[in-house]
Structure 1
Amino acid sequence: MPEFAVNMAAIANDSNEMAVGNIVGSNVFNILFFVGTIAIFKPMIIDDKLATFDFPLAIVAAILLPFLAFDGTLLGIDQNLTRGDGIILILIFVYFVKETIGKSLVDQKYKDKKMMIYEIAEGTFKLNKFLRGKKKKKPSIKHLSKDIAMILIGLIAVVKGGDMVIEYASEIATTFGMSKHLVGLTIVGVGTSLPEFVVCIMAARKGQQGIIIGNIGGSNTFNILFTLGVSMAIKPIIVDQAMIIDAMNVGMATILVGTIAILNKKIGRLMGVVLVMVYIGYMYSVIKSA
Structure 2
Amino acid sequence: MAYLLLVVGFALLIKGADFFVEGSSRIARTLHVSPLLIGLTIVAFGTSAPEATVSIVAALEGSAGVAVGNVVGSNIFNITLVVGLTAILNPLKVENETIRKEIPFTLLASIALLVLVSDIALQGLSGNVITRSDGFIFLLFFLIFLYYIFEVAMNNRDKAKEESVPSERPSWGKNIALTVGGLLAIILGGHFVVDSATEIAISFGMSETLVGLTIVAIGTSLPELVTSITASIKKESEIALGNIVGSNIFNILFVLGTASSISPLGVEGKIVVDIMLLILLTILLLIFSRTKYTIGKIEGLILASAYVLYMIYIIMRN
TM range (shorter): 0.7 to 0.9
In the superposition, the TM-score normalised over structure 1's length comes to 0.88
1:140-151 aligned within 5 A: 140=170, 143-151=171-179
Pairs within 5 Å for 1:208-247: 208-247=236-275
What does the per-residue CA deviation read over 1:115-155, in whole Å, with 9 as the maximum and x for residues that have no partner?
8xxxxxxxxxxxxxxxx8xx724644xx1122111100000
Partner of 1:129: none
Q: CA deviation at 1:274?
A: 0.8
What's the offset of the Cα at 1:110?
A: 5.0
> How is 1:88-127 mapped onto 2 (pairs within 5 angstroms)?
88-110=137-159
Mark the CA change 1:264 to 1:59 in structure 2 (over 3 Å): closer, same or farther: farther
Q: TM-score, normalised by structure 2?
A: 0.80
The residue that corresponds to 1:118 in the other structure is none
Mapped contact 1:82–1:232 kept (Cα < 8 A) = yes
- State the alpha-carbon separation in 1 of the partners of residues 144 and 98 from structure 2: 16
Which residue identity does 2:264 align to in structure 1?
P
Q: Partners of 1:221 and 1:105 in 2: how far apart?
A: 21
Query: Are the equivalent residues in 2 in contact too, given 1:21–1:185 (CA < 8 A)?
Result: yes
Q: Distance in 1 between matches of 2:149 and 2:297?
A: 29
Structure 2 unaligned regions, length at least 5: 1-48
Structure 1 residue 107 displacement after superposition: 2.2
Contact 1:47/1:210 (8 A) holds in 2: yes
Distance 1:23 1:137, change over 3 A: closer
CA contact (8 A) 1:52 1:262 kept: no
Name the counterpart of 1:85. 134
Greater Cα radius of gyration, structure 1 or 2: 1
Name which of 91, 94, 114 aligns with 1:66: 114
SS at match of 1:99: helix
Q: Residue 270 of structure 1: CA displacement?
A: 0.8
SS of alignment partner, residue 80 of structure 1: strand
* 1:99 partner letter: Y
Give a deviation string over 1:190-227, Cα, whole Å, max 9, x none: 00000111111211121111110010001111000000
Deviation at 1:260, TM superposition (A): 2.2
Q: 1:279 to 1:137 in 2, by over 3 A?
A: closer
State the one-letter code of the partner of 1:98.
Y
Kept in 2, the 8 Å contact 1:3–1:227? The answer is yes
**In the TM superposition, what is the alpha-carbon distance from 1:287 to its structure 2 partner?**
0.3
> For the Cα contact (< 8 Å) 1:31–1:216, is it kept in 2?
yes
Q: Hey, what does 2:208 align to over in structure 1?
A: 180
Counterparts of 2:193 and 2:108, CA distance in 1 = 29
Partner AA of 1:279 in structure 2? Y
1:41 aligned to 2:89?
yes
CA RMSD of superposed structures (Å):
1.8
1:136 aligns with 2:166: yes
Aligned residues: 269
The Cα of 1:178 is off from its aligned counterpart by 0.8
Give distance in 1, aligned partners of 2:198 and 2:56. 15
Following the alignment from structure 1 to structure 2, what is the Cα–Cα distance between the partners of residues 251 and 59? 6
State the AA in 2 paired with 1:107: N
Aligned partners of 1:247 and 1:48: how far apart in 2? Answer: 26
Paired position in structure 2 for 1:124: none
- Check the 8 A contact 1:39/1:269 in 2, yes or no: yes
> Closer, same or farther in 2 for the Cα pair 1:16/1:219, shift >3 Å?
same
Distance in structure 2 (CA, Å) of the matches to 1:45 and 1:137: 30
Kindly provide the amino acid, as one letter, of the partner of residue 101 in structure 1. Answer: F
Q: CA deviation at 1:104?
A: 2.2
Q: What displacement does 1:263 show?
A: 5.3
Amino acid at match of 1:239: V
Which structure ranks higher in relative contact order (CA pairs < 8 Å, sequence separation ≥ 6)? 1
Q: Which residue of 1 is the match for residue 295 of structure 2?
A: 267
Whole-Å separation in 2 of the counterparts to 1:40 and 1:92:
33
Task: Decide which of 49, 52, 75 is 2:100's aligned counterpart.
Answer: 52
51-60 vs 64-73, which moves further: 64-73
Percent identity reads: 38
Q: Gaps spanning 5+ residues in structure 1: where?
A: 116-131
Cα distance change, pair 283–104 in 1 and its aligned pair in 2 (3 A): same
In structure 2, do the counterparts of structure 1 residues 266 and 72 end up closer, same or farther at CA, with 3 Å as the change threshold? same
User: What is the identity, as a one-letter code, of the residue corresponding to 1:216?
Assistant: I
CA pair 9-111 structure 1, distance change in 2 beyond 3 A: closer
